[in-house]
Amino acid sequence: MSVITMNNPSSLRVKLDAGLNDSTGNTIVKSKTYSNLKYNANNQDVYDVAQALMGLQDYPVLEVLKQDSTTLAE
């Protein structure tokens, strides 16, 4: 039997460096997620949008992620 795939909307997640935890010394990571990206959005376009959003953030950016999701069915 063949597996059917359905592409779900992607999301853009930006992880931010919110400073250090005084008691542990670990980095405090905050994140912002922007949902409902088109599943076939070009990676460069998504990154360019992330770059534009980075200038609006209060904290330095640690990581930019494009999270894709696919549903599998029979």
pLDDT at res. 55: 87
The answer to whether residue 22 sits within a structural domain is yes
Which has the minimum average pLDDT: 4-13, 15-24, 49-58? 49-58
Mean pLDDT across the chain, nearest whole number? Answer: 93
The answer to whether residue 72 sits within a structural domain is no
Residue 18 predicted with pLDDT over 80: yes
Q: What gap in Å lies between CA 11 and CA 29, rounded to an integer?
A: 18
What pLDDT, in 10s, does the model give residues 31-61? 999 999 998 999 999 999 999 988 888 899 9
The answer to whether residue 74 sits within a structural domain is no
Residue 4 predicted with pLDDT over 80: yes
* Residues of the domain holding 18: 4-67
DSSP state of 40: T
Report the domain count for the chain: 1
The answer to whether residue 73 sits within a structural domain is no
